[in-house]
Amino acid sequence: MDSNHRRLSQQIYSLPPLAARETLLNCECVFYSLIFRCQQKPELFLKIFPTPLAFKILLLKYCFMNNSNFNWTQALHFDQQHIWHPYAKLPHPTPLIGVKSTGGSYLTLADDRQVVDGMSSWWAAIHGYNHPQITAAVSRQLETMPHIMFGGLTHQPAIELAETLIQLTPSNLTQVFFADSGSVSMEVAIKVALQYWISRQQPKKHRLISLRNGYHGDTFATMAISDPENGMHHLFTPHLTQHLFAPAPAMGIHTSPEKEIQALADLLEQHHHELSALVLEPIVQGAGGMRFYSPEYLKAARVLCDQYQVLLIADEIATGFGRTGKLFACEWADISPDIMCVGKALTGGTMTLAAMLCTEEISQTIAQGNPGLLMHGPTFMANPLACSAANASIELLLNSPWQTRVQKIEQHLEQQLTPLKSLKGVEDVRCLGAIGVVELEQANLGVAIQTEALKQGVWLRPFGKLVYTMPAFNIPQTSLNQLTQGMTKAITKILKAE
């Protein structure tokens, strides 16, 4: 937007709506056709701008946008002052990094730099961005039916998706609840577990047990089962429902978790009469430390849950859809949980959607209890666009050589990142499936490493001591080389400067 447009938009912004409308009529922008139509049909104007605020918001948009010419400097300043970003201060201490567009494994930044994406938008974009098959499915759905309430109504994309999820997940999971985010699906899982025991006339079984270093979301019930001390929600611990925590299984997929299995067994023995469910992230504890642990622990957890009549909830929100090298991480131990949640990669990272699956025994028990209904129903439940994206993404995944791709990425990450172990300041390097983690000794180098990685043409989002990557499964080899080289250079440079 040039200075004339800016001046004009500022003038317009301070005008009363009708005068602004007149002024806008003299401008050249997308607004004109809209305003023109409003002029012909005044009731349309009221519909579009039902309040002065709605009018102002549209004008504000106009301030930033003159067709293709988005004023990034001004917009980033606005963003920094007014928009909260994940786990961030407001105002944000530094300007955010604008992204103009995405494609495959690349992001085009506001300054037109193209950087290779190391994060898959937090585990989600497993096919890279803007995959034509997903885009086409969403476009088709957009034209047919972008959304319809799920209360009393249903639709093809949701039915197809439920059928697919039932087929792909462990065979005992046959009942599906669609939620709009991972955290909400976990809330539903918790609610289902509680209601199951209430329906079985055992209301005392209302507590949960989860693992240290676990992370299950940002809502209140999920904060209460995420690690109470080293997790990101410790601030709220005194205000959360008090649950039990078992020690985190020893780190390492081949490390014996015998001690931790015993600790879990002891806790279950002592508390099973008050426990409704054990909640865990199978094989990989993500945001609580990017820790990989042995399938032996999972197997033992399943046996103990059966022994003590405690439901097992597997949070596969991060691990689901191939990330660890298995379609679902439960497959590492060949176990079936009673309840499972999936999200993130469900739609290939295109739209927000999650699902909770459980056994028929659970749904029947709830149905036979009082009131029999599962009292949860988000407005955008089973959004058809998101379900279509998920159907396309899963089809794409299953028709691709994803196991080979993930295996190759794992080999590459092992080869390229392991040498960093010898650097002073690196505590550990570990890889599993399409996940590569470099754990540092210090927790305060993330921003410096991120900035340096960007200079190397790589997008990373370290947290705490962890610098990690989880690329798209179909990342081209040259881009993967660029990713690991950039990551290595950034870590080396920043650690050497320490």
Give me the active site residues, please: 87, 215, 315, 344
**β-bridge partners, 244:** 209
Of 318 and 449, CB closest to ligand PLP: 318
- C-alpha 486/C-alpha 473 separation (Å) is 19
Three-state SS annotation for 365-380: HHHHCCCCCCCCCCCC
Tokens of 82: 């007014």
Classify 454 as helix, strand or coil. helix
Q: Determine the residue with CB nearest ligand PLP.
A: 182
Q: What angle do CA 336, 342, 345 make, to 5 degrees?
A: 130
CA dist 31 and 35 (Å) reads: 6
Specify the amino acid at residue 341: C
In the complex with ligand PLP, the residue whose CB is nearer, 327 or 426, is 327
Least distance in angstroms from the C-beta of 493 to ligand PLP? 29
Q: Residues near 138 by Cβ (< 8 Å), separated by ≥ 6?
A: 350, 351, 385, 388, 389, 392
| Residue located via tokens 């809209």 | 34
Token couple for 438: 């470099």
- The DSSP line for 272-311 is GGGEEEEEE-SSEE-TTT-EE--HHHHHHHHHHHHHHT-E
Closest CA to 391 of 424, 359, 348: 348
Starting at the earlier edge strand, list the strands of the sheet with 466-469.
426-432, 435-440, 466-469
- Strand segments, DSSP code E, in 58-98 are 65-66, 69-70
Q: For tokens 């596969």, what's the residue?
A: 316
The string over 21-42, giving b where at least 16 C-beta atoms fall within 10 Å of a residue's C-beta and e elsewhere, is: beebeebebebeebbeebeeee
Nearer to ligand PLP, 20 or 126 (CB): 126
3-class SS of residue 263: helix
CA separation for the pair 215, 466 (Å, rounded): 15
- What Cα–Cα distance (Å) separates residue 198 from each residue in 56, 172, 316? 50, 22, 25
Count other C-beta atoms under 10 Å from residue 380's C-beta: 16
Chain residues that interact with ligand PLP, rule: CB under 6 A: 181-183, 186, 215-217, 281, 286-287, 315, 317-318, 343
Residue type, 130: N
Instruction: Work out the angle at residue 385's Cα, subtended by the Cα atoms of residues 85 and 53, and round it to the nearest 5 degrees.
Output: 50
| Bridge partner list, 70 | 65
* CA atoms of 135 and 15, how far apart (whole Å): 40
Rg of the Cα trace of the chain? 25
d(CA 225, CA 216): 7
